[in-house]
Structure formats: structure tokens, C-alpha cells
A and B are shown apart, each in its own frame.
Chain A
Amino acid sequence: MTGNAIEIQDLSFSYGKAPVLDQISLEVPEQEFLGIVGPNAGGKSTLLKIILGLLKPRQGKVRVLGLSPVQARRHLGYVPQYPAFARDFPVTVEQVVLMGRLGQGRIIGGYSRRDREISRRVMAETEILDLAQRRISQLSGGQLQRTLVARALACEPRILLLDEPTANIDMRVENELFDLLKILNQRMTILVVSHDIAFISGYVHRVACLNRTLICHRTENIDGQVIQQLYDGDVRMVAHKH
């Protein structure tokens, strides 16, 4: 069955008076790899938080996997824009990944054997198994990013959402991360928020350009005009072919 993983109709949102999102509609079929791009303060993170049920829309309808965002939460894996936490927190990679197992199973006491097996499996998949006992303050940017992806995968999500996953890592690590996402995309829907349109268009199926309003493009159709519209012509283009 391939229905829509996410359905958004006429969604509007504002913090105070100024509208952040204005009449947005978006359908994301299951198994899609969707990029959401746009300028800073264009509403990208806000949209993600509405899909996650952390913010309530002022207007419009949002269904995730046919459920309300809050009900669908347990099927979502979220990779926040880091640093969303203190880098010097005394916690190991394995402990962070295990946090993805919270919210299922018993409430009191430690993690179950199954929780540990799942987190070892996702650490192997993200190639951080050998870092399991490292303190997170000792990780490089790329290693920390993999840890956060592993934590999201430990939720066994049907949809994976990533907020600016490449903000703090270099080009080579960025490539590795997207290669990993491409593999994961074979079994789950992926949404990536990024400001880096040129880079992600090589990986994703569709790009949603968000600057208060939203316009979707197949990646092959993105050209200078689209980018200029989005960023108000304030960017200088460098021609490149993928």
C-alpha cells in the first residue's frame, strides 16, 4: 500500500501577528525523499514542528500517516538541528541512541534486551558501533550527526525528518550522510530541511521551496529562475551540472 505519508491542506501559522506559513498545501507520498528549502526564517523549521505535533496550526488540516500529528508521533524519527543540547553533557553515544527507544515498553526501570538489540543494529547501520561507549563531547561533527540519525532510527520510524542535517559538517561528511539517507529511503519516507538547495537537489526526488508560501518542484526542473524567486533575487548563481 502506498498512500500519502503526509497530507497538508491550507495550513497557516503565525507567531503573534506576522504569518510564518500562509495557505500551504503539500502531499508527500510514502517512500518519497523530499527536500524543503528556503531562506532563513522562511518557516522551514516551523513546518517540521507542525508535522511533529510540537506546534498547533492556526488554520488548515495536517494528517500524518492518516492520523493527527500527535497520534502519529511514535512512527516519526526526528533529527534536530544541532546543537539542540549541551555538547558537554556526560552521556555516551549508546545512551543517546537508546533514547530513541523511549515511549515504548515499560515505564519503570531500564531498557529491555530488545531495545538494546535495536540500538546496536541502528548503530551498525550508521557505522558508529565502535563509538558506542564514547562520550558525545569527544565526537566530530559528522559522528555526532550519525549518532542523532541512529537515535531517530532507533524509533523504528516510518517517516524520518531531518532539520538542517548539514549545518555543521563539511562537504565530504555531507556526502556520506546523504548516501546513508538514500539507502534508508528504500524503507521509509524522508523529509530533509536545508538551506543548501544546490546540494540536496542531487539526492531528493522533489524540492519544496518554502518562503511563507510553498511551491514544489521536481528536482530536474530547478533552475536559476526558481532560486531567484525564492530568495528574492539576492543570490549570485554558479552554474553547475549534476
Chain B
Amino acid sequence: MDAFFQYSFLQTALLAGLLASIGCGIMGSYVVVKRIGYMAGGISHSVLAGMGAALFFGFSPMLGALLAALLAALLIGWIKIRWQTQEDTLIGAMWAIGMSIGVLFISRTPGYSTDLMSYLFGNILLVSTTQLWEMAVLNILVTAMVLAFYRQFLAVSFDEEFARLRGVPVNFFYLLFLCLVALTVVLLVQVVGLILVIALLTLPAAIAGHYVHTMGWMMLLASLLGMTFTTFGIWLSYVLDMPTGAIIILVAGGSFILSAIFSQWWQHRVQAAES
């Protein structure tokens, strides 16, 4: 553990992990209860197009990621609202097209191909102080939006039809919601890369869902779990000298499996005690 106090790059990585966990706990909970992991996957993989373009034209990869993610979110939302029957195919197509565009841009950019690897699998140890500030701003934005429209988001994700009957502009909130998922995805790409984003987005929230009664508690617990996984993962990857993103995901995935088994067993016990 001493290493955390000695090396500033580890401290930055730790902070990045903690910041990412907040967004991941909040939006991840919605993604899990709405069962839209596939949409989040489409958004996160489209991010590569933006990062590739940023690299090629020479602007900030974070900005590129942000623009691509928001564009993908709006497109996916539009697909969902207009062409519900072909949703699956269309999102799959966007997923692949986004990645392909990204790969083409990166291949045409002079430089090292390791850049591609760090976008795909993340490199939390290379996060800069500027990026930390950008992550903090994204977090504040996501949290503020969710706090302001908590009732509407809850109603729309629980029962869309009823929300519509109560005069809630369902399509607007649906698109806003996907945009917030997009912001969170960009936040998490810094930590674990775009391939592993879905795991970090959904696993902590899914574990939290085993134990809590409300969305509020689910978000809080998922954020705390995310913080634990990233912190422990960074430390473990440092000790083992292995890629951080992959270790964080394995820690989260292992915990999810254990929690799923434990909560099943616990439910059986409670049911047996009741009957």
C-alpha cells in the first residue's frame, strides 16, 4: 500500500477510479434496471470513432469521445423511438461501424499503434491532471441532472406508459437519459477502456441490486462498490505488474459471481425460514 503514497501517478489513477465510480454507480443502476446494457455497449464502442478522429485531426481525444458518444446516444435513442422492431440490428450495426471508423482513422495517423490498445483497454496510469478535472466536471453534470429529474427518470424507467399518461415528456427524458449514459461511458473509458466499459457500468449496480430496495440506495452502494473495485484493482495490478483495466474488471466480475451465489443462497434460507 505504500506505493500509493510514493507515486503521484498512482494517486492520480486512484482519483480517476474514484471519480469514475460515482458516474458508474448512478447511471449503471439505470442501465441495469432498464436492461439496456446493449445500448450502452453500442454507445461505448462508437466512442472509438470520435477518439480516432480526434487523433487524426489533432484535437483532444476526450472531446472526440464526448462528441461521438453523444451522437451515438441520440442516434440510438432515435432508432429506439422510431424503429423499435429493428432496434437490435441497427444498434449492432452502429456498434461495428463506429469501431471501424475509429480503426481507420487511427491506422492513418502516424505514431505508435499502442494508442489503439490504450483506447480499447484503457490506461488509468496515464490519466493527466487535466483529465481528472474533465472527469470531475462530467460527474457533477451527471449527478446534477439525475438529482434534478430524479422523479421523472424513475417514472420513465419504471413504467414508460404511465409516465406518458402523467404528461411527462417521455421521449425527451429518454434521450436525455441516453446522453447521460454517454457522458458516463466517456468517464469510464479513461479508466478501463471502451471494451470493458459495459462491465464496470453494470457489475457494481447489479451487485447492489441484490441487496437494496430502492434506486437511491442502489446508486449509492454501486458507487461505493465501484470505488472499492477500482482501488483494489489498481493496487493489485501494481503488485502483480499486470494491465489495470483487466484486473479491475476481473475483481468486479469475481465479486459479482460470488454475490449472485450468496444472494441466491440467502433468499433460499429466508424463504425456508418463512415457510
Residues of A within 8 A of B (CB): 52, 54, 73-74, 76, 78, 80, 84-86, 88-92, 95-96, 98-100, 102-103, 107-111, 133-135, 151, 155
The proximity string for B residues 206-250 relative to A, scoring 1 for CB distances below 8 Å and 0 otherwise, is: 000100111101100000000000000000000000000000000
Given A102-B152, A108-B149, A111-B151, residue A80 in contact with residue B162 (CB < 8 A): yes
Chain A residues within an 8 Å CB radius of B215 = 90-91
Contact A102 B166 (CB under 8 A): yes
Contact A84 B209 (CB under 8 A): no
Chain A residues within an 8 Å CB radius of B168 = 102-103
Interface SS, A side: loop
Chain B residues within an 8 Å CB radius of A134 = 213
Interface size on B, residues (CB 8 A): 27
Interface SS, B side: helix
Contact B163 A99 (CB under 8 A): yes
Some 13 contacts from A to B, beta carbons below 8 A apart, are A54-B161, A54-B165, A73-B166, A73-B167, A74-B166, A84-B162, A86-B33, A89-B157, A90-B213, A90-B218, A92-B214, A99-B151, A103-B166
Contact B162 A78 (CB under 8 A): yes
* Minimum CB distance partner of B163 in chain A: A102
For the complex, what is the distance from the CA of A78 to the CA of B200, rounded to whole Å? 38
B154 at the interface (CB under 8 A from A): yes
Chain A residues within an 8 Å CB radius of B149 = 107-108
Contact A78 B165 (CB under 8 A): yes
B105 CB to nearest chain A CB (Å): 39
B152 CB to nearest chain A CB (Å): 7
Contact B159 A99 (CB under 8 A): yes
A114 CB to nearest chain B CB (Å): 14
* Minimum CB distance partner of B150 in chain A: A110
